[in-house]
A and B are shown apart, each in its own frame.
Chain A
Amino acid sequence: MTESTDLERRYRRLLAFYPKPFRREREQEVLSVLMEGARAGQRWPRRAEATDLLKHAMAMMFGRPTSHELRHPTPWVLLRVVVGLWLLILTVFLCHIGQWWALALLAPAVLQFYLGYRVAIVVDRERQVGGPPSPPSPA
């Protein structure tokens, strides 16, 4: 039973990235789904599971892109990328002259890239119709 409590603790740690209201309502339920899907003796979340949880936790944490972002995706994605890159360059420059505190700028830079990426995936998903086509079956 100790394996399952190890695993459960690790799943809980991943679920901690979700916003509080979601956890209050869903944590027990999601946890039981995760535990039911676990193999006997499994001690760590599978990587695919972990990335899936983190991806959706981030999406929930930062909400959906605004309708303005979705109507004009290209300038918004470009803006996010440019601001992110500018922050990266600033970080490199400041670190170069010994201002190591500038490493903290990496957080907003990553956030900008993430926000741009999020608009891109939502737009891409809404364009997609009914998922990938299945291969034609032999008659």
Chain B
Amino acid sequence: MSKRAVQEVTFLILTALAGGSQHGYGIITDVEEISQRRVRLGAGTLYAALDRLREDGLIEVDREEIVDSRLRRYYRLTNDGSERLAEEAARLRANAQVAIARLKSNPTDGVATA
């Protein structure tokens, strides 16, 4: 797999699973919380992303439960998934630090002063 930057949705899903295994609806509500209500995943988007992540070996099925006669499948990060998320988080942090440092060193030019 290439080391291209992961999409934000993928990043958020991996982050949701970093705290432990979760089922589909749990991931949706968690992603909403992590993104401060900015991202609400549709079921179609969620399952397209989960399928891709599973194919790439970044997540796997943890267990299945039946709650109120409904199937819940729990997913968890694989070791590769944790590594990939850590790399991606470090990359984003490095970018953000440069951005913040430059804005601070040049405050009159930026829009940040607005």
- B19 proximal to A (CB < 8 A): no
Tally inter-chain residue pairs, CB-CB below 8 A: 73
> Taking the nearest CB of chain A, how far is it from the CB of B93, in angstroms?
12
CA distance A100 to B104 in the complex (A): 67
List residues of chain B with CB within 8 A of the CB of A35: 70
CA distance A56 to B50 in the complex (A): 12
Interface of B is mostly: helix
CB <8 Å contact, B70 and A34: no
CA distance A49 to B28 in the complex (A): 13
- A contacts with B, residue count (CB < 8 A): 31
- B103 proximal to A (CB < 8 A): yes
User: Would you give the 0/1 interface string for A28-61, flagging 1 where the beta carbon is closer than 8 Å to chain B?
Assistant: 1111111111000000000011001111110110
CB <8 Å contact, B45 and A130: no
> Taking the nearest CB of chain B, how far is it from the CB of A66, in angstroms?
17
List residues of chain B with CB within 8 A of the CB of A104: none
User: Would you give the 0/1 interface string for A106-127, flagging 1 where the beta carbon is closer than 8 Å to chain B?
Assistant: 0000000000000000000110
CB <8 Å contact, A131 and B25: no
Given contacts A29-B24, A33-B43, 8 further A-B contacts (CB under 8 A): A31-B70, A35-B70, A37-B25, A52-B43, A55-B44, A56-B48, A125-B7, A128-B7
Give the interface of A toward B (CB within 8 A).
Answer: 26, 28-37, 48-49, 52-57, 59-60, 125-126, 128-132, 136, 138-139
